[in-house]
Amino acid sequence: MTRTRGEGKVTFNYPQPPEKGKAIGEWLTTQAEGYTETFYLLAHADDGVIWGRLSGGKLVTAPVSPALNDETLQNARLFSKGIEIYLWRDGDGNFQARSIKDGEGNARQYFDEAQILWGTHSEPTQGGFTLMSDGAQGLRHSVPIEVKAHGRGRPLRLKLRHYLDEDDKGFVRVAYSRLVDLTAND
């Protein structure tokens, strides 16, 4: 696992979450308006994992993924190298939202971590997605990038950034984390 440390400016915002019954994809797309960088979506729902990509102002999800809807969604992260929009359900079943943006705001220490995602075999699918499978369990997920996996190792990496806080006694802890990038080591 590769880790890098750094310090940079960061802003935390808490946008108004979507109302019940509103299309989640539309809400996420609206939150990303004005940014030109590539965004990826990683969402967890009652019926599975949903990967997606924001392309040309339109959120595209994998053809083999469950639908992105407010009834089954537990959380969603729309992320890029500069910002993450995070949507989750609280204990009462209501949506809450937070965004973390790098490059402006208060200085904060952080460290980056590359986590290995499962998937030793790849199969290209529609729209630039790749269906990844691993082992005999039949577990699969369809990522929004092209991956060439040949059964040796797990090439997918999910880059996380962990922001640190120091308490009044000098103890440092991870206060917030966000997704930064999705890559493949072909």
Report pLDDT digits (tens) over 154-172: 889 999 999 999 999 999 9
Number of other CB atoms surrounding residue 30 within 10 Å: 12
> Which H or E run contains 73?
strand 73-79
Interatomic CA distance for residues 70 and 50, integer angstroms? 13
The pLDDT-based confidence of 139 (bands split at 50, 70, 90) is confident
Which residue has better confidence, 138 or 51? 51
Report pLDDT digits (tens) over 24-60: 999 999 999 999 899 999 999 999 999 999 988 899 9
Distance of CA 171 to the CA centre of its chain: 28
Is the model's pLDDT at 120 over the cut of 90? no
Residue-range domain boundaries for the chain: 3-113+157-184
Task: Tell me the CB-side half-sphere exposure of residue 11, using CA atoms within 13 A.
Answer: 10
| pLDDT at position 40 | 97
SS3 83: strand
| pLDDT at position 1 | 52
Report pLDDT digits (tens) over 63-84: 888 999 999 999 999 999 999 9
Flag whether the pTM goes above 0.75: yes
* Strand ordering across the sheet containing 121-124: 121-124, 130-133, 140-143
The alpha helices in the chain, defined as continuous H runs, are 24-31
